[in-house]
């Protein structure tokens, strides 16, 4: 085991103990479980459901929100909580509720917004309102932001809210900022944000579009690492095996007992993996599971 975090109970104090199949298999989505079209192949869907029916415990750890992750996985009988937004939220698919969430305090929010103003950049701000996730934007002034919003509205029926100024948002539970831009612009914004205490910043290249980078900003206590430890401690998993491809999967790997990089993964991710398996377009995760589970 690569490390543990302090014990933390889920809402209501209930500890959920896994059955005799106490190994959790948890996969990143984009670039790992999904193919280059950001979809699950029929092969992967059938393989996962066959193994889940035999007792495999399976979930996903992704930068995506519940709305898009659940849509993408709707044909898979996921039977463990989902790690969302790089660990900011954990969603229990059986209880249909968030069982852990990381909230940014107002001072951090204002300092992030100040960094945005200084660099004249904007992005997306995520908040919770009565357990509903709200995604806000001030302006869609780049093709990347427009495409991001349009795809999620058209494909996943997500709702976005335009507000004049993030600083005026009435939401009390702001959890996450996401920025999409060129490497140079992301670097400029990162250089302003990196000195703000108590934050975690994930930067990584988009796998679908050339010269597009993501930067996600959230509480320093939120990570795929801590989320996996939360699942281990609160759901009774004795062993956790992870799969990934991009830089934001390194914390996932560090929390797992075993970790595997798909063949299309970044070199830094392969270097952290116990082994490299087949590529995402070749159903690498599903085929590894078929050969190694049960």
**Cβ atoms 99, 10 nearer than 8 A:** yes
What pairing do the DSSP bridges indicate for beta strands 124-129 and 97-101? unpaired
Domain boundary among 172, 191, 219: 219
Domain extent at residue 49? 21-102+223-292
Query: Which residues are paired to 181 by β-bridges?
Result: 213
Structure tokens at 39: 């979809």
pLDDT in tens, 198-252: 999 989 898 888 889 999 999 999 999 999 999 999 999 999 999 999 999 999 9
pLDDT computed for residue 98 by the predictor? 95
| CA–CA distance, 16 with 234 (Å, rounded to integer) | 6
pTM comes to 0.84
pLDDT computed for residue 277 by the predictor? 98
Regarding whether 89 and 27 lie in a shared domain, the answer is yes
**Cβ atoms 180, 145 nearer than 8 A:** yes
Q: 215, 212, 246, 241: which is closest to 32 by C-alpha? A: 246
Regarding whether 88 and 117 lie in a shared domain, the answer is no
DSSP letter assigned to residue 96: T
Regarding whether 127 and 201 lie in a shared domain, the answer is yes
140-168 core/surface letters (b: 16 or more CB in 10 A; e: else): bebebbeebbeebeeeeebeeeeeeebee
List Cα–Cα distances, 77 to 49, 50, 52, 196, 213, in angstroms. 6, 10, 7, 40, 32
Per-residue pLDDT of the chain (294 residues; tens, 9 = 90+): 454 333 333 444 433 444 446 899 999 999 999 999 999 999 999 999 999 999 999 999 999 999 999 999 999 999 999 999 999 999 999 999 999 999 999 999 999 999 999 999 999 999 999 889 999 999 999 999 999 999 999 988 888 999 999 999 988 899 999 999 999 999 999 999 999 999 999 898 988 888 899 999 999 999 999 999 999 999 999 999 999 999 999 999 999 999 999 999 999 999 999 999 999 999 999 999 999 997
pLDDT computed for residue 43 by the predictor? 98
CATH of the domain at 275: 3.40.50.1000
Regarding whether 232 and 205 lie in a shared domain, the answer is no
Regarding whether 229 and 97 lie in a shared domain, the answer is yes
CATH of the domain at 148: 3.30.1240.10
Q: 198, 195, 219: which is closest to 126 by C-alpha? A: 219
Q: 234, 233, 242, 228: which is closest to 25 by C-alpha? A: 242
């Amino acid at each position: 085991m690569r490390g543990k975090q302090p014990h933390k109970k889920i809402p209501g104090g209930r500890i959920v103990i896994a059955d005799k199949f106490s190994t959790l298999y948890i996969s990143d989505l984009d670039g790992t479980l999904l193919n280059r079209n950001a979809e699950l192949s029929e092969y992967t869907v059938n393989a996962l459901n066959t193994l889940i029916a035999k007792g495999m415990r399976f979930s996903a750890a992704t930068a995506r929100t519940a709305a898009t992750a659940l849509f993408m996985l709707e044909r898979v009988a996921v039977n463990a909580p989902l790690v969302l937004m790089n660990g900011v939220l954990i969603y229990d698919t059986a209880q249909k509720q968030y069982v852990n969430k990381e909230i940014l305090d107002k001072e951090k929010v204002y300092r992030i917004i100040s960094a945005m103003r200084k660099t004249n950049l904007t992005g997306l701000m995520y908040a919770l309102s009565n357990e509903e996730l709200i995604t806000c934007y001030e302006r869609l002034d780049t093709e990347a932001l427009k495409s991001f919003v349009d795809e999620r509205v058209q494909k996943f029926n997500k709702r976005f809210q335009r507000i004049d100024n993030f600083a005026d948002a009435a939401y009390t539970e702001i959890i996450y900022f996401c920025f999409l831009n060129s490497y140079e612009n992301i670097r400029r914004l990162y250089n302003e944000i990196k000195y703000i205490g108590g934050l975690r910043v994930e930067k990584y290249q988009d796998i679908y579009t050339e010269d597009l980078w993501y930067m996600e900003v959230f509480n320093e206590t939120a990570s795929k690492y801590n989320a996996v430890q939360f699942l281990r401690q609160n759901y009774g998993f004795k062993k956790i095996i992870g799969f990934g491809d991009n830089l934001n999967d390194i914390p996932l790997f560090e929390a797992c007992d075993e970790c595997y990089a798909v063949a299309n993964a970044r070199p830094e991710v392969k270097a952290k993996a116990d082994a490299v398996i087949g590529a995402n377009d070749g159903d690498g995760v599903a085929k590894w599971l078929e050969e190694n589970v049960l």
